[in-house]
Amino acid sequence: MLLRNAFLGIFVLFSVLGCSSQKLETKPTINIWHWMTDRDATFQELAKKYETLTGVKVNFELYAPSDAYSQKIRAAAQGINLPDVFGILGEKRDFASFIKAGHILDITPYMEADNGNWKNKFFPKALAVNEFNAGNSYGVKPGIFAVPIDIMTIQMVYNKKLFSQLGLNPNRPPKTLQEFLDIGTKIKAAGMQGLVSGWGEVWMIDCLANDYAFNIMGKDKVLATIRGDVPYTDADWIKVFSIFKQMQESGVLAKGLVTMINKSAEQLFANEKAVFAFNGSWCVNVYKGMNPNLEYGAMLPPEASSQYPISIWGGAGSSFMVNARSKNKEEAVKFLIWLTDQDQQAYLAQATNNLPANKNSLAKIPEILAQFARGMDYATHPNVWGVSEFSLVIEALDRGIQSIIIGEKSPEQVAQEVQTIKEREMAKKRAQ
Amino acid sequence: MKIKDTLENYTFVLPAVAIFSVFYIIPFIWVFQLGLYEWDGISFTKVFVGLQNFKEIFFQDRNWWQAMWNASYITLIALTFQNILAFMLALACDREIRMKNFYRVIFFIPPVLSEVVVGMAWRFIINDIDGANIINRMLIGMGLGNLAHNWLSDPNTALTTVALVHCWKGFGWGFLIFLAGLQTIPRELYEAARVDGASAWQSFKKITIPLMIPVMVLVAILTVLGTMQVFVLIVSLVGGEFAGHTSVPVLRILASMRGSSRFGYACAQGITFGMVLIAISFIQYRFSKKGH
Amino acid sequence: MKNAVYYKSKKIAINTLIHIFLISVSITCLYPLLWMIASSLKTQDMIFKDISLIPHQFRLENYVLAWKEGGFGRNFLNSIIYTVSVVFGIVIISSMAAYAFSRLKFVGSKFLFIMFMAAMMIPIPGSFVALYVLLNKLHLRNTPIGYILCMINVGLSTSIFLLKTFFDKMPKELEDAARIDGCSKIGIWWHVALPLAKPVLAVVIVFNALAVWNEYILALIIFDNRQFMPLQVALQSFQGEFVTNYPLLMAGLTITALPIIIVYLLMQKYIVKGVTQGAVVG
């Protein structure tokens, strides 16, 4: 009896707790869900500032880590419960699906207003990632659908102190692949560790493979391959795969590279246990936290060929979208315009050691970040090419390269396997 | 009277069935029928493809079967090494020895730690570049230096190493359940056997084992279910699927859901996985019944 | 005389071996825990440079920082409320159902039991999305009770399985005696079955407490309100997209491990007390 009453009591208690409370607001509140742990404090400060300026309350909610954030967004989209402002972590294809499902506000009119006032504040490459061009393969009407709040590039970094120890000039990083491989021999002889990167997480492999693909065969041929006009068994692609084999054999890659998550790689480089790292510009903040005295420089991946320029991935780092069904659309857009304005961007960049998306905010950034920023000239990104490769093909390519690095498969084998899957996927698509 | 009796019986299971129907059956049916569609998880339209996804899993998805094979390998190690260890420890703690309570608490620490911490800590212990290389150092210290190895970064040993770490984390559960089972065997039976002149080994064989069989089956089934679904540990130990060497089914399902945005296909994979687990559990159950 | 000495030294030898075995296993269990605690007392840059188990400085303030920055106060309370409610709910609901499956006869008993078993074996990928939409329709999303009901469901199958296995083994004599004495079915369940099942109940409690305490992804997806979030979600905020604040993360993880260890400490004595409780009618 007593037990049952207790149980009933608890049940009632929770039913009461279960009723969510409704508050009446005079000024709207903008709800923003984000995943950027290291920027949460800065976001909160900016939100307070905005509230004193305009009286509009901005509520930043952090949901980390990014995998969980992604799932939350997708669940909320299904339940048609998205907040006023949010981000989509994923490929352009997913971005397109969200737009077609009506979740995202088309902000082109706001961008183009006043002769493109807002639009021109950004680096064109930062916007490109959030733009859909006419005739794109995703079936989305052309326009701009999200706002970049920072930019990033993914390049290589090298440890200047270890360079001196190896007898190399710390101010002259390798420019060609051959120089890079020669350094590898020195690294092996000295018993040090070479390049570290999160190649347990396959997308980073994809990034470097792509960089070299652009370098060896040029953008057009790469896009042609994605479209299916050029096979992966082409000699140029085999050259790309072979580069990884050469790197492994020369000793310029660190041991156990294929089982590293990016965080381990960052910690190794920060603790001066690795000579090179392949990482994005966000690493500046990470390394600073782990080892403020680290002496390092940024460089482009060493060129394998001089026919075409080497390219790197870069563009918008994080972007925010506005919920098309939000009741506070206008206010949300106004806030985003303020957030991406010169001063706020400069503040954000300084506080979190990231590159601003606003062209005019580059004034006071540390030298190492400036080196990353210079790489933007060479930057491209899969989200701006207008075509996407099949994800199963990408997976096979990345896993294939992992196999090459651990010496289980040859570049030719991998090329053949990737091409087989590509043909299968294309056949499937034609059948639909 | 009979009706009242039957109704009473039903009220015992009513809360469980009610909650189960709402929170499991409904999502299950939704996911089950999604296996017949091609859907990206976002759009409001889906494409019905019938059994296409299942055909693809069975005939084209080599990655899936490699993942199943890896998971089975880890499970086999868990069923043997982990559970035998747990049983031996439970036997040891069942006796009247000192520090019993201490051991009981210590052995349950691994299950309490989150998989992320376990992965990070063991990665630190095992790896030489980004860790303390303790295992290899111990081997060298014992004069077995030529056995020193890149346990986690060598494709040949990575899976086994992961399996052993998983056993380390899991044996605490088996230990607990075995201990509970051993404790319910009445001491009088052992007393009687001793009086009759039976040796320790004989009473173990004739009393302990037969009475523990249902518990052993229980632990075996739970081990299979728990181990086949491992994945967080793999990501924190080796970063991911390591070119397929440490692929497991759940990672493949997540890859379909998030990497390829093929929600329907992921559901089909989940259903296939479930069917395999049911089949294995069914065989285990039947096997135990026959042995009795 | 010789025999006695022989047997005594044999016993000592065996006991020593057993102790060596137990201690070596214990060391492997303790090391990662000590590593976690040691890391929580270091600073971010020292954490991977300094591999010793004893940190140079004892930054106990990491724990205070972790508590404050993680907003642990409210979230800790939430986790306790959720864990207690879910465990309580599961113990009652699953023991009733397990008892019924084991001891009561009714149509569909076998079928329902098999369904619960099957549920244990089929993981539903993307079940979070399904539950989100479902809770939304029931207007229970973003409410504690919605979360609690979902979590009760999560542990139901395994708990029923554990308890039924035990109830099947239970000697019938005690129940028969109680029935003859005029006890109702509920009475038998409450006064006879549950007390006998204390060891298994303890396992069920520990198992479910651990599951609910460590859960974070469902909570993160269905709650929109910070004030409902459990501890694990707050903890994740230390594991950023790019920067992970390791010492604080380790401090947070240590704090979260403690209550479960306490629950286990409380429960484990029931598991071994069972010997004297399980009186068998001779």
The per-residue pLDDT for C186 is: 83
Residues 59-78 on A with a CB inside 8 Å of B are 67, 70, 74, 77
User: Per-residue pLDDT averaged across C19-24, rounded?
Assistant: 86
- H or E element in which residue C154 lies: helix C144-169
Per-residue model confidence as pLDDT tens digits over C48-68? 666 666 766 777 888 888 787
Q: Which of C21, C36, C120 sits opposite B92 (nearest CB)?
A: C21
Question: Quick one: pLDDT at residue B97?
Answer: 67
Q: What is the pLDDT of residues A303-333, one digit of tens each?
A: 999 999 999 999 888 999 999 999 999 999 9
Task: Locate the DSSP E strands across A212-360.
Answer: 274-280, 296-299, 312-316, 319-322
- Mark yes or no for CB contact A392/B255 under 8 Å: no
- The whole-number pLDDT of residue B255 equals 86
Cβ pair B19:C265 closer than 8 A: no
pLDDT score, position B221: 87
Residue range A124-167, pLDDT digits in tens:
888 988 999 888 888 899 999 999 999 999 999 999 999 999 99
pLDDT mean across residues, chain A:
88
Q: Give the homologous superfamily in CATH for domain A153-314+389-431.
A: Periplasmic binding protein-like II (3.40.190.10)
Nearest residue, CB atoms, C136 vs list A79, A270, A286: A79
For the cut 50, the answer to whether the pLDDT of residue C281 exceeds it is: no
Q: What is the pLDDT of residues B8-42, one digit of tens each?
A: 888 889 999 999 999 999 988 888 888 899 888 88
Inspect the interface and report whether the beta carbons of B260 and A391 lie closer than 8 Å: yes
Contact (CB<8Å) B152/A256: yes
pLDDT at A402 over 90: yes
Q: Which two tokens stand for residue C77?
A: 């309370």
Nearest-CB residue to A256 (from B42, B127, B243): B127
pLDDT at A87: 94
Structure tokens at A314: 């870069």
Residue position matching structure tokens 């724990």: C63
Interface contact A101-B238, CB threshold 8 A: no
Q: pTM value?
A: 0.86
DSSP state at residue A31: E
Residue range B174-191: mean pLDDT, rounded: 82
pLDDT band per the 50, 70, 90 thresholds, residue A422:
very high
User: A268 and B129: CB-CB below 8 Å?
Assistant: yes
- Cα B83 from Cα C110, distance rounded (Å): 29
Q: Where are the domains of chain A?
A: 28-150+317-376, 153-314+389-431
- pLDDT value for A20: 43
Task: Please give the residue range of the domain that contains residue C218.
Answer: 71-237
At A55, which amino acid appears? G
Return the structure tokens found at B197.
Answer: 């002149």
- Quick check: B112 and C260 CB within 8 A? yes
Domains A28-150+317-376 and A153-314+389-431 share a fold: yes
Has residue C75 been placed in a domain? yes
Q: Would you say residue C104 has pLDDT above 60?
A: yes
CB pair distance less than 8 Å for C185 and B114:
no
Residues A278, A197: contact at Cβ < 8 Å? yes
**What pLDDT sits at residue C8?**
81
Would C125 be classed as within a structural domain? yes
Q: Which residue of A has its CA nearest to C132?
A: A75
pLDDT tens for C72-82 read 788 889 999 99
Average pLDDT over residues C126-149: 88
Structural domains present in chain B: 59-291 (1.10.3720.10)
Residue A147 three-state SS: strand
A393 contacts on B by Cβ (under 8 Å): none
The dihedral sign for the CA sequence B98, B100, B106, B107: positive
Q: Considering the domain boundaries, does residue C94 fall inside one?
A: yes
CB contact under 8 A, A408 and B255: no
Inter-residue contact B123 to B236 (CB < 8 Å): yes
Which tens digit of pLDDT belongs to each residue from A330-360? 999 999 999 999 889 988 888 888 899 988 8
Q: What percent of chain A has pLDDT over 70?
A: 94
- Is A36 at the interface with chain C, CB within 8 A? yes
Per-residue burial over B64-81, b if 16 or more Cβ lie within 10 Å, else e, is bebbbebbbebbebbbee
Q: Which residue has the higher pLDDT, B145 or B212?
A: B212
CATH code of the domain containing C99: 1.10.3720.10
Specify if C280 maps to a domain.
Answer: no
Q: Would you call C238 an interface residue with chain A, using a CB distance cutoff of 8 Å?
A: yes
Residues 5-44 of B with CB under 8 A from C: 6, 8-10, 12-13, 15-17, 19-20, 22-24, 26-28, 30-31, 34, 41
Subunit contact A254:B240, Cβ cutoff 8 A: no
- Residue holding tokens 């303390």? B132
User: How is domain A28-150+317-376 classified at the architecture level of CATH?
Assistant: 3-Layer(aba) Sandwich (3.40)
A123 Cβ contact list (under 8 Å, min separation 6): A151, A357, A359, A376
Query: What pLDDT is attached to residue B96?
Result: 63
CB contact under 8 A, A261 and B152: no
Range of weakest confidence among A228-237, B104-113, C34-43, C200-209 = C34-43
User: How much is the pLDDT for B68?
Assistant: 93
| Residue A249 confidence (pLDDT) | 92
Residue for token pair 């380390």: B168
| Mean pLDDT score, A246-260 | 90
Set of chain C residues whose Cβ sits within 8 Å of the Cβ of B231? none
DSSP assignment of B95-164 equals SS-TTHHHHHHHTTHHHHS-HHHHHHHHHHHH-SSSS--HHHHHHHHTT-GGG---TTTSHHHHHHHHHH
Encoding tokens for residue C112? 């329902």
Residues 6 or more apart whose CB falls under 8 angstroms from that of B31 comprise: B267, B270, B271, C124, C125, C126, C127, C130
Strands A143-144 and A131-132: antiparallel
End-to-end CA distance of chain B: 38
**Buried-exposed string C200-224: b where 16+ CB fall within 10 A, e elsewhere:** bbbbbbbbbbbbbbbbbebbbbbbb
Which chain B residues are within 8 Å of A90, Cβ to Cβ?
Answer: 258, 261
Would C51 be classed as within a structural domain? no
Residue A32 · residue A61 · CB < 8 Å: yes
Confidence tier at A18 by pLDDT (50, 70, 90):
very low
pLDDT surpasses 90 at A213: yes
SS3 state at C145? helix
Cβ distance A200 to B238 less than 8 Å, yes or no, reads yes
Say yes or no to pLDDT of A367 above 90: no
Domain assignment present for C245:
no
Cα–Cα distance, C201 to C95 (Å, whole number): 8
Contact residues on chain B for C199, CB-CB shorter than 8 A: 180, 183-184
Which of chain A's residues have a Cβ under 8 Å away from the Cβ of B266?
Answer: none
pLDDT tops 60 at residue C146: yes
Q: Can you list the positions of beta strands (E) in chain B? A: 37-38, 47-48
Report pLDDT for A11: 57
Residues on chain A touching C145 (C-beta within 8 angstroms): 14-15, 17-18
Which residue is closest to B52 within chain A, CA to CA?
A428
The pLDDT of residue A254 is above 50: yes
Question: How confident is residue B72, by pLDDT bands cut at 50, 70 and 90?
Answer: very high
Q: What is the mean pLDDT of chain B?
A: 85
- Provide, as residue numbers in chain C, all residues whose Cβ is less than 8 Å from the Cβ of B183: 199, 271-272, 274-275
What pLDDT, on a 0 to 100 scale, did the predictor assign at position B19?
93
Which chains form contacts with chain C, at 3 or more CB pairs under 8 Å? Answer: A, B
Closest of B53, B12, B13, B14 to residue B36, by C-alpha: B53
C-chain CB neighbours of B180 within 8 Å are 199-200, 202-203, 271, 274
Q: Is residue C130 part of a domain?
A: yes
B110 CB within 8 Å of a chain C CB: yes
Range scoring the smallest mean pLDDT among A106-110, A155-159, B270-274, C118-122: C118-122
- Predicted confidence at residue A9, as pLDDT, reads 52
Q: What are phi and psi of C188, to 5 degrees?
A: -60, -45
Residue C44 in contact with partner chain A when CB distance is under 8 A: yes
Segment A263-291 mean pLDDT: 88
First-to-last alpha carbon distance for chain A, in angstroms, is: 63
Q: pLDDT tens for residues B199-242?
A: 878 888 888 888 888 888 888 988 998 898 888 888 888 888 88
Q: Is B208 exposed, middle or buried (0-12, 13-18, 19+ CB in 10 A)?
A: middle
3-class DSSP state of A7: helix
Q: Are C125 and B270 in contact (CB under 8 A)?
A: yes
- Does residue C240 surpass a pLDDT of 80? no
**What residues in C contact B23, CB-CB < 8 Å?**
131, 134, 149-150, 152-153
Q: What is the pLDDT of residue B16?
A: 92
- How many CA within 13 A on the CB side of residue A45? 9
Residue A22 has pLDDT above 50, yes or no: no
Q: For residue B48, what is the nearest residue in chain A, using CA coordinates?
A: A432
Place of tokens 């009119």: A109
Cβ separation A37–C85 shorter than 8 A:
no
A286 contact residues in C (CB cutoff 8 A):
242-243
Higher pLDDT, A30 or B132: A30
The answer to whether residue C43 sits within a structural domain is no
Q: How confident is the model at residue C277, as a pLDDT? A: 37
Chain A residues within 8 A of B41 when measuring between CB atoms: 74
pLDDT given for residue C280 in this prediction: 31
Whole-number Å distance between alpha carbons of C71 and C79: 13
The band of C93, judged by pLDDT with boundaries at 50, 70 and 90, is: very high
Is the pLDDT score of A399 beyond 60? Answer: yes
What is the percent of chain C with per-residue pLDDT over 90, rounded to a whole number?
A: 14
The tally of domains found in chain C comes to 1
For residues B285 and B221, is the Cβ–Cβ distance under 8 A?
yes
